[in-house]
Structure 1
Amino acid sequence: MDLSVVIPTYNERDNIHPLVARIHQALAPLGIAYEIWFVDDSRDDTVAVLRDLEARDPAVHVLHRDHERGLASAVVRGFERAQGRYLVVMDADLQHPPELLPAIYERLESGIDVVIPSRFVEGGSDGGLGPLRKLISWTARVIGQLALHRLRRISDCTSGFFGLRREVIDGVELNPIGWKILIEVLVKGRYRSVHEIAYAFVARDFGESKMSLKEQWNYFRHLVRLVSQSPPDRRFFLFCLIGLSGVVVNEAVLSFLWYGVHLRDTVASVAASFVAMLNNYVWNDRVTWKSESSGRGWGWKLPLFVGISVVGIAMTTLVMRVCEGFGVPVPLGQAIGILVSTAWSYWMNSRVTWRKIEREARGDAIVVTRESVRDSFARAKSGA
């Protein structure tokens, strides 16, 4: 089997026949062996429509679920049953054009690991969404890209329309929450190349959107779980938590030296700051960037960490002063300075102090390429 198209459905009876007809129209000229897997959670008569179609069309297969729900889990069940070398996931609401299937197949056949039709590549469009849905979609993408490093170069990481080689998910445990299965694949999958193709996301003709506050909440739960399972992504959050613990240590040591030992305030402050830096270094070495070499390398890693921390302190003060010059209250300017210096300190430590561990964890670079509508037209015209 060359290609499996996996389509999760929930109350989409009016879209089934037009969708299957357009899939056949798109794929038949390729002369390949393909199948269509519908994984259905419907509570209306969609399943009857699907069963009737399955009985008459040998390419159509149906799995109806009574005791499991959710778009992403439906896709996983479809992956488990699909026989194709290449897998494509798309929605049943006709907002994902089946006419792109040949292009997706050809890009996969050329050796690309993951192909994502994107609304945000030149020539693409998300015109099928209203203003509120566009805002929600943009917010979800940005939060995902900030939280997970593998999403940062993908323009449409929350898409529900994508294709991949089977090897990308072979042996990978997929256990997504909610509706964004692509994020799970991008974070956990084994791949080296991603290609985005521009497409226009259109408004649905039949049925209703399945978007809800519950699904938005599931999306955030999904992100938190993926971050917790991905060492490169959870490091920044660990770094911040350890930084907060350093504040507590600093205040405790300062109070002891000033009130208990009666050192001068300047001496007590400097001593407390260095004790806090040592606390932060030990925890970051043994937790944030934990490895077989943790606990070693103090002779060069600790000075690097302290140097970066000192520059971070100076940066915090500088940002606060600059903000003050623009009329920003000192406490707010200090908070902005802390955010800037924290991000800078993490970036520097990951690339200098613990650079070897960071490189090993991230592995080989993933190549991301994009194809606009103009590029697709030129490629089709040349027969590529």
Structure 2
Amino acid sequence: MLRRLLSPAPLALTIATLAGIGLALLAAPKPPPPTAAPPRLTLVPAAFADLPGWSEDAANEAWPAFRLSCERQMRRKPETSLGIAGTVADWSAACAEAALLADPDADTVRRFLEDRFRPVAALNGETAEGLFTGYYEPELDGALTPDETNRTPLYRRPGDLVQVDLGEFRDELKGQRIAGRVVDGRLKPFEDRAGIVAGALAGKGLEIAYVASPVEAFFLEIQGSGRVRMADGRILRVGFDGQNGHPYVALGKVMLADGLLERGKVTMQSIKAWLAAHPDQAAALMNRNPSYVFFRDLGDGPGPLGAQGVALTPGRSLAVDRKFLPLGLPVWLDASLPPVEEGAPPVPFRRLMVAQDTGGAIRGPVRGDVFFGAGAEAERLAGAMKQTGRWWLLLPAEVVARMAEPAS
């Protein structure tokens, strides 16, 4: 079976020796502790028959998402590289055909994909399974101006925030990004969460709206988009528009390390419950995550918007790590949903999805975040979703054929 490695193997480690003039070596130095191998995408060609549940999915539910991604891709130059997925030109025939299929049934979608694409299993080195979580579009109570109840601001992206895609400068930095502000001709770090919460941006006219709960505002940042409901019933839809450049630190891991939550019981709901029960400690704990997200007003258009710039489809859109996977890629996911009741077996979750978004915590070649939509059930699923799973990427047939060609 052909196997193609997309990321370089880790470099061998060297161990420095200790020497002293006129001194004998009394004991061999202890070797350094083992380090985890860096993430490495491995692609293994497969067949559609290898995809668990392939013939059972209502694949047509993912068709609108696939067409939106195709339309977005076709706006780019044909020679534009899509990494492991070839170039935009490799997608042109499939996307042109997709544009003519307005409302296909599930069998038609499967035949289309089987004709135009080939599945390849995506692994992290030799490991097929990875972590799959979920996110949703929350709704918060708020106001356009501060009042006694709504005092936590949601900020627009500051005009002096500079966001840098390092992959545009060096291929080996593809997928890595930083942000900051220019001071005396040099890029310097932007304020972290603690500084922004303390008022570093206050009075600069960056406030989009004010919400009642700083905890809900914190989780709105994690979700990346949401709705703010005004007292008169109007809805303001906001979406991700930048980040302050500081690394994302998962609050659940912090609380586990501090002994505040038990292993196996870390969910969005349990974190929120702890913060609500300890309001005097909540702000300091949330500030342990220095990352801060800025928003923009999405207006009345469809949404929320993912990183690819298209509206996300509940249950069919997926956030991925762009260092390894390009946006717009159809993906077959074999995972499970969290059970409705504690102790119940997991519910299989096998379906066609489309990579249309990214996330600060989504890192690695087998790591995904499922968009569940809006509402109470979407919140429940997103908050409890922390399942292992595996996936297959659907690549244009000609791209997979080129992989099989011997190196010259």
- TM-score, normalised via structure 2 length: 0.20
Greater relative contact order structure (CA < 8 Å, 6+ sep) = 2
Structure having the higher helix fraction is 1
- TM-score, normalised via structure 1 length: 0.21
Q: Which has the larger radius of gyration?
A: 1
